[in-house]
Amino acid sequence: MVRPKLEAAGWLAGGERFYREQLHVTAGRVVLASSTAKRLQTKIPDYLLYFRRDMPLAVVEAKSNVKPAGNGLQQAKEYAKLLALKFAYSTNGTEIIEYDYFTHLETVLAAFPSPTELWQRLQIGTASRSG
């Protein structure tokens, strides 16, 4: 239920403005327990939204449609912070919740923003921080 909503907003599985699914972003931190090393869980966001191949804009965490959309927001925010992204989304396929790191606001959305809209918001947010 997430892919059709992303595609309706202009994000494609391939092409210029696109999304990627289940992309490993870290191998998991290695910690020592006594004399043995153990690797912690790999970080795998459900979706990354790209404006260009070298320009990820947001992370989307998808949860089951029987769970509240907000259940994945903290996880999405952690992935966004790890990847230095300014937008994090959590969805259950019906409801979409956005966290904006520029405004620090959580907002319930009817649809995902388009690639152009998100790019413009990034530019505005970045300019206001440097100005």
Question: Average of pLDDT values for 37-52?
Answer: 76
Report the pLDDT value the prediction gives residue 18, as an integer from 0 to 100: 77
pLDDT confidence of 25, banded at 50, 70, 90?
low
Report the pLDDT value the prediction gives residue 37, as an integer from 0 to 100: 64
Q: Is 59 a residue whose pLDDT tops 60?
A: yes
Question: Average of pLDDT values for 4-13?
Answer: 91
In whole angstroms, give the CA distance from residue 109 to residue 67. Answer: 17
CATH number of 2-130: 3.90.1570.30
Domain ranges of the chain: 2-130
- What predicted TM-score, i.e. pTM, was given to this entire model? 0.82
Question: Average of pLDDT values for 111-122?
Answer: 96
Q: Mean pLDDT across the chain, nearest whole number?
A: 85
Report the pLDDT value the prediction gives residue 97, as an integer from 0 to 100: 97
Q: How many other C-beta atoms lie within 10 A of the C-beta of residue 18?
A: 18
Q: Look at the alpha carbons of 119, 62, 46, 4 in this order and tell me if their dihedral is positive or negative.
A: negative
Contact between 37 and 30 (Cβ < 8 Å):
yes
Q: Is 61 a residue whose pLDDT tops 60?
A: yes
